[in-house]
Amino acid sequence: MSDPRLDPSGLPLRPDLRGRTAYGAPQLDVPVRLNTNENAHPLPPGVAAAVVDALARVAGDLNRYPDRELTALREALAAWLTRSSGSPVDADGVWAANGSNEVLQHVLQAFGGPGRTALGFTPSYSMHPVIAATTGTRWIDGVRPGSDVDPFDLTADAAAAQARDLDPDVVFLCSPNNPTGTALPLDVVTAVHDAAPHAVVVVDEAYAEFARPGTPSALTLLPGRVRLVVTRTMSKAFAFAGVRLGYLAADPAVTAALRLVRLPYHLSTLTQVAAVAALEHADDLLGTVAALKAQRDRIVDGTRALGLEPVPSDANFVLVGGFADPAAAFDALLADGVLVRDVGLPGHLRVTAGTEAETDRLLAALERHVGAGRPAGRVSR
């Protein structure tokens, strides 16, 4: 008789993790990679040189642990957020970690966990429920009721009603939302915050720099709301995905709580120094944002002209609907050297905005294959 404490491999894996598969988008060597929302443009040479110089200056001290408090980095991030949002951000309320996923993990370790619940509104960022599961937090799939204009719309009334009824410990809102690309009005954030009086409300703004003009940031809502957290990343607009630097802004009481769960010296000296050097050249790094937004809008217009149904986006990607067989379309595009993302929504694929040449190739491939449903070799999505 098998021992119920062991999984099929014979390991005593936690029961709630059995049968799960590890998160991971395909990393394939293809000419056009439009599946992980990276910035398609390399670091400007001057910024790369500044990062290398900064790393060289600290290389001789790598025998010592990094600054546990991330002091220079938090100050640089606070200065950037204050300048870019127009709303004062205190360095004492800034936190950073190895990518925004680790930031979110810290939040759930501190405010979620066994016996607690996290609410998110599906479809949204697929790592939110994954991180919840790894921290022992029960995940609740909220509902996006949609509208005639936007099938994935989330109104303030609908979100607040669910938050009020479920009384979660953590709520995730995503603006711009991944995978739909749509930004949330701030009344959704305030309504959820007020309707869930026991919850830490996390607004995931990983793609905020790509939002259309006039789109407000939840950073402006932080004063007076101790339970509100806004997360950001340098992986997207800043073209710094390989460094793995995510961060949040909140009340200093939140960062004090996160210190209770972070591992000692969790952010390396090299990461901290590289990020500070990059932030000193923020305007240069963000110089490609306008070009990426232009390609995003071109993908919207081009796919619509092909009879598909793109969702207007505030991010650096477009969710495209109208595929009779998205799996076959994915494979046909891949056979043509174009890698996109099957996010599991019926009839939809998600496409990252890349360079002008990459958009040319994407639209040409779509024109050849839309409706053809020609299956090619299948890969894991």
Q: What is the pLDDT of residue 127?
A: 96
Q: pLDDT over 90 for what percent of the chain?
A: 87
Q: What is the pLDDT of residue 10?
A: 85
Strands 338-339 and 317-321: unpaired
Rounded to a whole number, what is the distance in angstroms from the first to the last CA of the chain?
Answer: 36
Triad 272, 287, 362: Cα angle to 5°: 105
Does residue 120 or residue 145 have the better pLDDT? 120
pLDDT tens digits, residue range 89-103?
999 999 999 999 999
Q: How far is CA 309 from CA 147, 156, 270, in A?
A: 15, 25, 44
Q: What is the pLDDT of residue 191?
A: 98
Q: With 50 as the cut, is the pLDDT of residue 276 above it?
A: yes
Q: What is the pLDDT of residue 103?
A: 98
Q: How confident is the model at residue 146 (pLDDT cuts 50, 70, 90)?
A: confident
Q: With 80 as the cut, is the pLDDT of residue 370 above it?
A: no
Q: What is the pTM of this model?
A: 0.93
Give the bridge partners for 118, in sequence order: 139, 170
Q: What is the mean pLDDT of residues 177-185?
A: 96
The amino acid sitting at 211 is A
Q: With 50 as the cut, is the pLDDT of residue 372 above it?
A: no
Q: What is the pLDDT of residue 2?
A: 65
Residue 82: phi, psi to the nearest 5?
-65, -45
Out of 170-174, 277-281, 296-300, 368-372, which region has the weakest mean confidence (pLDDT)? 368-372
pLDDT tens digits, residue range 229-272?
999 999 999 999 999 999 999 999 999 999 999 999 999 999 99
Question: Could you give the count of Cα atoms lying within 13 Å of 295 in the half-sphere of its Cβ?
Answer: 24
Out of 202-211, 298-307, 311-320, 370-379, which region has the weakest mean confidence (pLDDT)? 370-379
CA distance 84 to 232: 13
Q: What is the mean pLDDT of residues 175-185?
A: 96
Q: What is the pLDDT of residue 379?
A: 37
Q: What is the mean pLDDT of the chain?
A: 94
CA distance 92 to 89: 9
Q: With 50 as the cut, is the pLDDT of residue 1 above it?
A: no
Q: With 60 as the cut, is the pLDDT of residue 161 above it?
A: yes
The domains found in the chain, sorted by start residue, are 24-43+287-369 (3.90.1150.10), 45-280 (3.40.640.10)
CA distance 128 to 144: 16
Q: Can you give the chain as a three-state secondary structure string?
A: CCCCCCCCCCCCCCHHHCCCCCCCCCCCCCCEECCCCCCCCCCCHHHHHHHHHHHHHHHHHCCCCCCCCCHHHHHHHHHHHHHHHCCCCCHHHEEEECHHHHHHHHHHHHHCCCCCEEEEEECCCCHHHHHHHHCCCEEEEEECCCCCCCCCCCCHHHHHHHHHHHCCCEEEEECCCCCCCCCCCHHHHHHHHHHCCCCEEEEECCCHHHCCCCCCCHHHHCCCCCCEEEEEECCCCCCCCCCCCEEEEECHHHHHHHCCCCCCCCCCHHHHHHHHHHHCCHHHHHHHHHHHHHHHHHHHHHHHHCCCEECCCCCCEEEEECCCCHHHHHHHHHHCCEECECCCCCCCEEEECCCHHHHHHHHHHHHHHCCCCCCCCCCCC
